[in-house]
Amino acid sequence: MEPKSKVTIPPGLLYIADNIKIKQNILGTSSELKAEWAKNLNLRKKSETIFFAGCGYQYTAGVESLMSLIRKMDKSLLGSELPMTLAGIQRKSGLDITNLYSKLTVKNKYAEGEVLIDAVKVLRNLGIDFGYLGDEEPCCGGLLHYAGMEQDFINNSNKLYDKFKSLGVKRIISIVPSCTYTLKNLITQHIRSSKIEVLHFSEVVLKNIQSVTLQFPRKVKVTYHDPCQLSRYLHLIDEPRRIIKAIKNVEFVETNWTNREWSTCCGGGAGFEAVFPELSEILAVNRAKELCDTGAEIIVTNCPGCLMQIKNGLKKLKNDTVKVLDLAQLISMAMESK
């Protein structure tokens, strides 16, 4: 029952999909730039267990500025031509415009990949041995699947699996929820013979957490936002909570009703934010409100998309007292303080 006529994919998604296909990352930036966060960490490439960094955290500042650009132009153009134009300029000029744009606009110039640096530190402190593929890390391609471009996704999956196999990868510690689900559940639907074990960062941390003492520098009220892909897709609901609760000085509070598998989506997902940037912002504000209603001083989450959305939601609410941290950052802070 294949439908007769073809319908076009919204341009915002096509833009990102093209970046994945051509440059193996969502922003269309160079692969050297992609691994820059890790340049001082001395992570070796060759290892049976690798840390899979994914796109989202590596380009936090880049994605944030791209999104604010998309939002601004969406309001004037209703988003029809913008991503196409962006892609056109990018390809013709060879300029890395998103990177350029982020350098110009990121005010509190925090480093790209700061969450990843913390995640590596946390894993090392827990005594876990792993490598990192650096500029050879492929894009999981999940977005191709969610955009509806299944054949492209299958092609990407095959390339990615061959790469893993040729590098002798046997185990992956993945940190972005969406990449984790793609590597663990989607790719394996096409490559059934895959024996690569895929674990999420929170699973690995929880398994090894007894070896360290975790204490936050001061008494603090913390709530947790479940990323959709982690809670409803991967069913990793207790893991992050048990980690947070293991940290001394932390009082853990839940949102009313909208927690665990009932958690409200941050408003970003499957490229939604690129197609409906303004609506996505409204949903981010709604979720930020629910989280603030807990009275927490820190909102912890576990996904670069959620991190960006909730931060933006708080900004729109003009709330500068509540902080948003990634789970890796919270653990890292709790490791430092003892």
Partner 1 sequence: MSTFLDYKKEIMDAAHDEKIRVALSRAIKSYRANVMSAIAQFPHTIELAKEVKTIKESAISRMQQLIEIACNSIEANKGKAYIAKTGEEANKIIASIVGKGKLVVKAKSVTGEEIGLREYLEKQGNDVYETDLGEFIIQKLKSKPMHILAPAVHVPKEDVAKLLSKLTGKKIPPDNIDNMVTTARELLREKFFKADVGISGANVIAADTGTLFLIENEGNIRLATSAPPVHIALIGMEKVVSNLGEAFKVAEVTWRYANYTMPTYVSMISGPSKTGDIEKVITYGAHGPKEFHVIFLDGGRIELAKHPILCQALYCLRCGGCLYECPVFSVTAGHFGDKYFAGIGAVWAAMLSDNREKGAALAYTCLTCGRCKVRCPMNIDTPEMVVELRRLLTQS
Footprint on this chain of partner 1 (rule: CB under 8 A): 1-10, 13, 78-80, 145-151, 228, 232-233, 257, 261-265, 267, 269-270, 272, 275-276, 278-279, 282-283, 286-287
* Residue 98 Cβ vs partner 1, minimum distance, rounded to whole Å: 22
Nearer to partner 1, 254 or 297 (CB): 254
Q: Tell me the C-alpha distance between 219 and 215, whole Å.
A: 9
Which residues, listed in sequence order, are joined to residue 198 by a DSSP beta bridge? Answer: 172
Nearer to partner 1, 44 or 235 (CB): 235
Nearer to partner 1, 196 or 237 (CB): 237
* Residue 228 Cβ vs partner 1, minimum distance, rounded to whole Å: 4
CA distance readout (Å), 325 to 81, 85, 155, 282: 34, 34, 35, 21
Nearer to partner 1, 138 or 277 (CB): 277
The pairs formed by 123-126 with CB atoms below 8 angstroms and a separation of 24 or more are: 123/51, 123/173, 123/201, 123/204, 123/205, 125/212, 125/335, 126/204, 126/205, 126/208, 126/209, 126/211, 126/212
Nearer to partner 1, 149 or 205 (CB): 149
Residue pair 67/27 in contact (Cβ under 8 Å)? The answer is no
* Residue 45 Cβ vs partner 1, minimum distance, rounded to whole Å: 33
* Residue 198 Cβ vs partner 1, minimum distance, rounded to whole Å: 20
Secondary structure element (H or E) that encloses residue 10, with its range: none
Secondary structure element (H or E) that encloses residue 179, with its range: helix 177-181
CA distance readout (Å), 111 to 20, 60, 62, 102, 120: 23, 9, 11, 11, 15
CA distance readout (Å), 106 to 53, 118, 129, 277, 307: 22, 21, 34, 19, 16
Nearest to 51 by CA among 206, 272, 201, 210: 201
Would strands 323-326 and 197-200 be described as parallel, antiparallel, or unpaired? unpaired
Q: Tell me the C-alpha distance between 136 and 149, whole Å.
A: 23
Nearer to partner 1, 150 or 197 (CB): 150
Nearest to 153 by CA among 228, 161, 198: 161
Helices (H) and strands (E) in the chain, counts: 17, 7
Residue pair 87/26 in contact (Cβ under 8 Å)? The answer is no
Nearer to partner 1, 22 or 282 (CB): 282
Nearer to partner 1, 55 or 275 (CB): 275
Nearer to partner 1, 95 or 279 (CB): 279
Q: Tell me the C-alpha distance between 285 and 310, whole Å.
A: 7
* Residue 236 Cβ vs partner 1, minimum distance, rounded to whole Å: 14
* Residue 266 Cβ vs partner 1, minimum distance, rounded to whole Å: 9
* Residue 249 Cβ vs partner 1, minimum distance, rounded to whole Å: 32
* Residue 251 Cβ vs partner 1, minimum distance, rounded to whole Å: 26
* Residue 151 Cβ vs partner 1, minimum distance, rounded to whole Å: 7
